[in-house]
A and B are shown apart, each in its own frame.
Chain A
């Protein structure tokens, strides 16, 4: 059996992380993510199990209802919530390709799940720094663009003439 505490024990409020064969995996970024958001995380070792199953189990045991499962065998880390169907975890990250940033984000999301704050999603683009107001760059101007502008100005002028002419004619 796994050597993590049974669910009847009194536990302090924390997100629970269950890891199997995760000795070589650096889980620090996950901890940092939770720390920055101010939610504690407890790690326990499991002897076997798939990451998704572990995550679900951790969620059930966590007093905060949020669990993380890590498997060094599958190279996966999974974020789960107690109320979600077992086969529908919130996030699954492949550890072989995930940058540190993504692990930290998973930690932050675990904390935000507890705090009911908006999650950080992968496709959220961080807006680029707008140019400094003192260093405004002129947009590159192609000859084609100049040509188009000149054409449209000429067209407008012709139109204006036309209406003017019409007005005078009708007077």
Chain B
């Protein structure tokens, strides 16, 4: 009796490569033996994928005691030929060419209230006889005791010292040694850049409060006697100072402060009959509104020579290289735009302060005829000596796999929340399928988190995206973001103490940023909502009968993002309003949202066998 054939279904995705191993019995029914997931090697559709596939095959075969050579057939997905790219387009930028403001949160400023006067170096205080108020600048080489003594002495000579700006972390120490308290801002790193002899105002708020005067343009105008035109110019300063506990504003003679709007380029949306242009700097909502009106959308172009143009070129070039087609044949077919903000180092700042620039995050997607999966299949066949065929369209396979979830039956829609794209497919009672691929998914969420928190660390942003946070409150316990407390037998690493940590797979990672836990959670959840919830609705609208989501009754989530600890709930909440039952797939009753395509490939093949025998 011939042994039962062993079949492997392989799904190469943007981020993961998944394998399902099954044996086919005499009647053509598959029995699944094992599955595996590894990181995809190289860009999806390239020959380098073979390495990842072999690793995934080995991982799946090992626990069931099989060798690669015992496989009879490897089925490869007909990967959807979509590729996405993401970019960040800054719209506004605060430029302060003359040093004019300090707005930061030293952990311990001194004194409180508002002080106003001309800036003066500490060592010049002694020789001054003027009775106008002064703001004293204390450089790092001066000991706090000397500084306090000199200020006290100056005051006893009748000088009016209204406040102090200190380079080192000495504000409380100086303040405690003064006969009369004054507001003091410390930890000002670039103290030597402060212009001397200029009118300045300094404010320190009570603990637990933020400044009230220097973040209001009219208060600044009052303090410095500004006219309406000048007041306009201080708006970016006031905005940058909002929410800080201490601040300094200095009026410089040629203080050139402006909020520049950066020409970000235009996007042209070309539909079957219509055509529309939207400037990127009008923001994400304007872009998405226009996009929704143009249907069916055929191509999206970006103005050459601008940042958006550059990004579009990049996507098209990668796709052209991948598919061996000329760049001119590649069209961008979908974009998603998201409003975001980007902390930017303020030019001319004195303590490394940031201003929030507005930005638009863009994800673009290109669709071509075919990825070179045949080439990959041949390469794999050579490497492992097992017959490899490309079978089945990815979206259809995904639906087949998803339908193995207990409690589901057609009609059914799947949402595949991947790394590069958000895909939706639908199957009706008659077994007809329809699918759509939209730009923007997990990678874009990572980008948003990375920029909005100013991390400049994609790995860390990825960790923040996929794991909950906690605050280490003592050496022995942390409070999770939901408020629950976890105690530990052994003391925690002192590096974690007092910090917000990401509970990563390999233990807690301390975050070296000043954001509060709640702020980081808000950024994370905001990014997920902006991308996934919006895209889920967009995608389902496109595949729904008559474009009406209410006519879809069941939606299952497949793909890696379906494993996320909060995205399924967000989407479920959004779809609940439409009366849709939403849940995470449980492929074959055991695999969760993973392995849908690999499973579907095996099922489709088994069905073929049954049909032909």
Q: List 8 A-B contacts (CB under 8 A).
A: A36-B173, A83-B491, A85-B491, A90-B494, A116-B474, A118-B499, A121-B494, A129-B189
A35 adjacent to B499 (CB under 8 Å)? no
Q: CA A121 – CA B474 in complex, angstroms?
A: 17
Cβ-based interface call for B347 (8 A): yes
**Contact residues in A for B475 (Cβ distance below 8 Å):** 81, 83-84, 90
Contact with B along A34-50 (1 / 0, CB 8 A): 01111000000000000
A112 within 8 A of B: yes
Which residues from A are CB-within-8-Å of B473? 116
Instruction: Flag if A132 contacts B193 (CB, 8 Å).
Output: yes
| Interfacial chain B residues near A119, Cβ < 8 Å | 494-495, 497-498
User: Residue A88 contacts which of B171, B193, B491 (CB distance < 8 angstroms)?
Assistant: B491
Interface size class of B (residues with CB under 8 A): 20 to 34
Residue of A nearest to B207 (CB): A38
With both beta carbons as reference points, the residue of chain B lying nearest to A28 in the complex is identified as: B145
Residues of chain B lying within 8 A (CB to CB) of residue A112: 497-498
Within 8 A of A (CB), among B143-196: 144, 169-173, 176, 189-190, 193
Q: Does B189 contact A32, Cβ atoms closer than 8 Å?
A: no
Q: Is B590 located at the chain interface by the 8 A CB criterion?
A: no
Give every chain A residue within 8 A of B173 (Cβ-Cβ): 32, 35-36
CB-contacts of A112-128 with B (<8 A):
112-113, 115-119, 121, 127
Smallest Cβ distance from B495 to chain A, in angstroms? Answer: 6
Report if B578 contacts A (CB, 8 A).
no
Known: A118-B498, A119-B495. A167 touches B326 (CB 8 A): yes
Q: Is the CB of B498 within 8 A of A133?
A: no
Taking a contact as CB atoms under 8 Å apart, the answer to whether B495 and A121 are in contact is: yes
Whether the Cβ atoms of A35 and B172 lie closer than 8 Å is yes
A36 touches B491 (CB 8 A): no
**B497 touches which of A38, A83, A85, A113 (Cβ 8 Å):** A113
Question: What is the interface of chain A, defined by CB distance below 8 A to chain B?
Answer: 32, 35-38, 81, 83-85, 88, 90, 112-113, 115-119, 121, 127, 129, 132-133, 167
Please measure, in the bound complex, the distance between the C-alpha atom of A37 and the C-alpha atom of B176, giving whole angstroms: 12
Task: Determine if A35 and B347 form an interchain contact, defined as CB atoms under 8 angstroms apart.
Answer: no
Specify which chain B residues have a CB less than 8 angstroms from the CB of A84 in the assembled complex. 475, 491
Q: Separation in Å of the A63 CB from the closest CB of chain B? A: 15
| CB-CB nearest 10 A-B residue pairs | A118-B498, A117-B498, A36-B172, A118-B499, A116-B498, A36-B173, A119-B497, A133-B347, A116-B473, A119-B494
Interface: B107 (CB within 8 A): yes
Interface residues of B (CB under 8 A from A): 107-108, 144, 169-173, 176, 189-190, 193, 326, 347-348, 352, 473-476, 491, 494-495, 497-499, 510
A90 to B190, CA, bound (A): 33
In the bound complex, what is the Cα–Cα distance between A83 and B193 (angstroms)? 46
The minimal Cβ–Cβ distance linking A129 to chain B, given in whole angstroms, is: 6
The docked-state distance in angstroms from the alpha carbon of A81 to that of B348 is 43
Instruction: Tell me if A38 and B498 are in contact (CB < 8 A).
Output: no
Nearest-CB distance from A51 to chain B (Å)?
18
Chain B residue contacts of A115, Cβ below 8 A: 498
A37 and B475 CA atoms in complex are apart in Å by: 19
In the complex, what distance in Å separates the CA atom of A35 from the CA atom of B190?
Answer: 24
A55 to chain B, nearest CB (A): 14
Q: In the complex, A36 Cα to B189 Cα: how many Å? A: 18
Chain B min CB distance to A68 (Å): 15
What is the bound-complex CA distance between A132 and B172, given in angstroms? 28
Tell me the bound Cα distance from A113 to B496 in angstroms: 12
A36 touches B170 (CB 8 A): yes
Find out whether the CB atom of A37 lies under 8 angstroms from the CB atom of B108: yes
- Chain A residues lying within 8 Å of B189, measured Cβ to Cβ, are 129
A87 to chain B, nearest CB (A): 12
Which residues of chain A have C-beta atoms less than 8 A from B171's C-beta?
Answer: 36
When chains A and B are docked, how far (Å) is the Cα of A36 from the Cα of B348? 28
A90: chain B residues within 8 A (beta carbon): 475, 494
Look across to chain A and name the residue whose beta carbon is closest to the beta carbon of B177.
A35
- Output the least CB separation between B98 and chain A (Å): 10
Given contacts A88-B491, A118-B499, 7 further A-B contacts (CB under 8 A): A37-B108, A112-B497, A117-B498, A119-B498, A121-B494, A133-B347, A167-B326
Residues of A within 8 A of B144 (CB): 32
Q: Which residues of A are found within 8 Å of B498, using beta-carbon distances?
A: 112, 115-119
CB A125 to nearest CB in B, in angstroms, measures: 11
| Cβ distance B158 to chain A, nearest Cβ, rounded Å | 29
Tell me which of A32, A84, A85 has the highest count of chain B C-beta atoms within 10 A of its own C-beta: A32
Partner of A117, one of B107, B352, B491: B107
List chain B residues, Cβ under 8 A from A167: 326
Provide the bound-state CA to CA distance between A167 and B497, in Å: 61
Closest to A82 in B: B475
CA of A84 to CA of B510 in the docked complex: distance in angstroms?
21
A47 to chain B, nearest CB (A): 30
The reply to whether B348 and A38 contact each other, CB–CB distance below 8 Å, is no
Nearest-CB residue, chain A, relative to B95: A133
| Beta-carbon contact of B190 and A129 below 8 Å | yes
Question: Quick check: B491 and A38 within 8 Å, CB to CB?
Answer: no
* B149 CB to nearest A CB, Å: 15
Q: Which residues of A contact B476 (CB under 8 A)?
A: 83
Which of A35, A36, A83, A88 touches B474 (beta carbons < 8 Å)? A83
What chain B residues lie within 8 Å of A129 (beta carbons)? 189-190
